């Protein structure tokens, strides 16, 4: 079956039942409304006749009652008087006697005050209402029976129903024609043209084999080939992304090595001092030949100091896989400050750690954030290289700061130095890759760019505020207080 025929069939299967169900519901509702209107009319007739017929009955005006019954019979309504026992008392000669209720119905009438029922008499269908003549509802004056012949009305309604069904069928036929036209014009013909174009790309024998096939099958084969191309493109994109991640990792490592180069002179001086002490003590031991205990202790402590410095340097330089753990960000900051401690002393810079006593838990890669904080600290030292200064570091929870549409408190780490500040012309480019204000050979221009990338990967932000004689860098990270009990890095 062609795709156009399928679409047409599915649309018709959806539309035709709706049309016929609506037609049936509309006919049923119209019939119910019509019958209710008819019943209300008969009830109104009965209520209107009862007082006048009761008066005529008391005056024995039988001819007057007959005239009234004759007038309403022109509308297909018949009436009769029943005595208190429910037997026929007065009616026109053509009144259908089977309409009079039996004794059991009369009991129900006395219980409810009136009675309504449908009954067939003389091959015709009637709606009957029986009610007491007395306005008080008792039966001492007898009952008034009013009956409406709705046989003709029912036949008319059947004709109306048939006309509605014919109209529904005509509507269905019109819809079929419209759907067929629309599907053919906007589905079948375009698909046939597209299928023909697809077949032109195939080999001759393949064209001969598929010329009569369903358009959807042809398109599905083309989509399958397209899916294969997209899959290959996706694999290429993933490989490109992996290469970019590897390049970023190498850039981060290169930035670490550049920082180590900056710290190398200070570390060399720091290692040289204990080495001189070791040499002096060793020479003394060699000459004195006695009392070695104190000198050996000094030698061991200086060797431990050298080992600690070298270990910190190697730990910082060693490349690692990214790992997200819960940790106290204060300890990460303190480890970073420990790495630049000797360089700060060499440059006559006072480092003030003003972090609070409470743990500040974040979910992070501590090695990557340590690299960020070392970069910020080294930049601060470079800014104060001429005459020394003060580097002030604080960390606190900022409940008013919200990032990335997350209404949660943030941890803010501030690095504030008393250096030369940042020139206005340089502020817009400070986070650009390879941008540096340092002398040639003293900076790669990647430190702040790499730091910004790392912080944003952690769901945070890095920003700065500069003025003459002051620069402040702020690192903001999502606070994770629920991780305080599972810290992977303790509080120093």
> What does the alpha-carbon distance between residue 401 and residue 412 come to, in Å, rounded to a whole number?
9
What is the end-to-end Cα distance of the chain in Å, rounded? 77
- pLDDT tens for 408-423 read 789 999 999 988 888 8
Mean of pLDDT over the chain: 76
pLDDT score of 397 more than 80: yes
Domains 3-159 and 325-492 share a fold: no
- Joined tokens for residue 305: 């100091």
Residue 488: C-alpha distances to residues 326, 353, 397 (Å)? 6, 22, 20
pLDDT score of 18 more than 60: yes
Domain boundary assignment for the chain: 3-159, 214-319, 325-492
pLDDT (0 to 100) of residue 132: 79
pLDDT score of 164 more than 80: no
More confident residue, 143 or 287: 143
- CATH of 3-159, picked from 3.40.50.200, 3.40.140.10, 3.40.50.620, 3.30.450.20, is 3.30.450.20
> What does the alpha-carbon distance between residue 26 and residue 31 come to, in Å, rounded to a whole number?
9
**DSSP string covering 198-225:** HHHTS-HHHHHHHTTS-HHHHHHHHHHH
- pLDDT tens for 297-325 read 667 666 766 666 666 565 555 556 678 88
**DSSP string covering 92-147:** -TT--GGGS--HHHHHHHHHHS-EEEEEEETTEEEEEEEEESSTTS-STT-EEEEE
Burial label for 253, CB within 10 Å (0-12, 13-18, 19+), is: middle
pLDDT (0 to 100) of residue 416: 94
**DSSP string covering 358-422:** S--EEEE-HHHHHHHHHHHHHHHHHHTTTT-EEEEEEEEEETT--BTTB-S-EEEEEEEE-S---
pLDDT score of 435 more than 60: yes
Place of tokens 């730990």: 315
- pLDDT tens for 270-303 read 666 666 667 666 666 666 655 556 666 667 666 7
**Domain 325-492 has what CATH class?**
alpha beta
Q: What angle do helix axes 215-288 and 189-200 make, rounded to 10 degrees?
A: 60
Neighbours of 368 (CB within 10 A): 22
């Amino acid at each position: 079956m062609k795709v156009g025929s399928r679409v047409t069939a599915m649309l018709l299967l959806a539309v035709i039942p709706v049309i016929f169900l609506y037609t049936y519901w509309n006919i049923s509702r119209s019939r119910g409304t019509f019958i209710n209107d008819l019943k209300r009319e008969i009830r109104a007739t009965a209520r209107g006749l009862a007082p006048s017929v009761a008066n005529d009955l008391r005056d024995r005006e039988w001819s007057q009652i007959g005239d009234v019954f004759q007038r309403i019979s022109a509308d297909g309504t018949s009436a009769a008087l029943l005595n208190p026992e429910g037997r026929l008392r007065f009616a026109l000669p053509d009144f259908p006697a089977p309409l009079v209720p039996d004794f059991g119905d009369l009991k129900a009438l006395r219980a409810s005050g009136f009675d309504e029922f449908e009954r067939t008499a003389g091959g015709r269908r009637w709606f009957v209402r029986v009610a007491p003549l007395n306005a008080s509802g008792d039966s001492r004056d007898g009952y008034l029976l009013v009956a409406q012949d709705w046989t003709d009305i029912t036949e008319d309604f059947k004709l109306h129903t048939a006309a509605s069904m014919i109209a529904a069928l005509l509507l269905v036929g019109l819809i079929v024609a419209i759907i067929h036209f629309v599907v053919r014009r906007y589905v079948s013909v375009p698909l046939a043209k597209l299928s023909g174009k697809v077949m032109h790309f195939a080999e001759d024998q393949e064209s001969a084999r598929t010329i009569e096939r369903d358009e959807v099958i042809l398109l599905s084969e083309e989509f399958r080939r397209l899916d294969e191309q997209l899959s290959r493109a996706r694999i290429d994109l993933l490989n490109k992304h992996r290469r970019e991640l590897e390049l970023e990792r190498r850039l981060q490592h290169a930035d670490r090595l550049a920082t180590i180069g900056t710290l190398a002179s200070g570390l060399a001086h720091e290692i040289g001092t204990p080495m001189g002490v070791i040499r002096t003590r060793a020479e003394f031991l060699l000459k004195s030949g006695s009392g070695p205990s104190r000198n050996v202790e000094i030698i061991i402590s200086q060797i431990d100091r050298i080992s600690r410095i070298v270990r910190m340097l190697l730990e910082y330089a060693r490349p690692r896989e990214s790992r997200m753990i819960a940790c106290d960000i204060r300890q990460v900051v303190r480890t970073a400050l420990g790495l630049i401690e000797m360089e700060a002393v060499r440059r006559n810079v006072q480092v003030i750690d003003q972090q609070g006593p409470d743990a500040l838990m974040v979910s992070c890669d501590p090695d990557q954030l340590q690299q960020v904080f070392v970069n910020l600290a080294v930049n601060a030292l470079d800014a104060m290289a001429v005459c020394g200064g003060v580097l002030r570091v604080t960390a606190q929870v900022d409940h008013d700061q919200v990032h990335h549409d997350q209404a949660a408190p943030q941890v803010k780490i501030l690095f504030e130095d008393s250096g030369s500040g940042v020139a206005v012309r340089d502020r817009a480019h400070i986070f650009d890759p390879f941008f540096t204000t340092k002398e040639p050979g003293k900076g790669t221009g990647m430190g702040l760019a790499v730091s910004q990338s790392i912080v944003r990967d952690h769901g945070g932000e890095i920003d700065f505020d500069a003025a003459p004689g002051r620069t402040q860098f702020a690192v903001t990270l999502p606070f994770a207080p629920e991780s305080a009990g599972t810290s992977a890095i303790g509080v120093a």
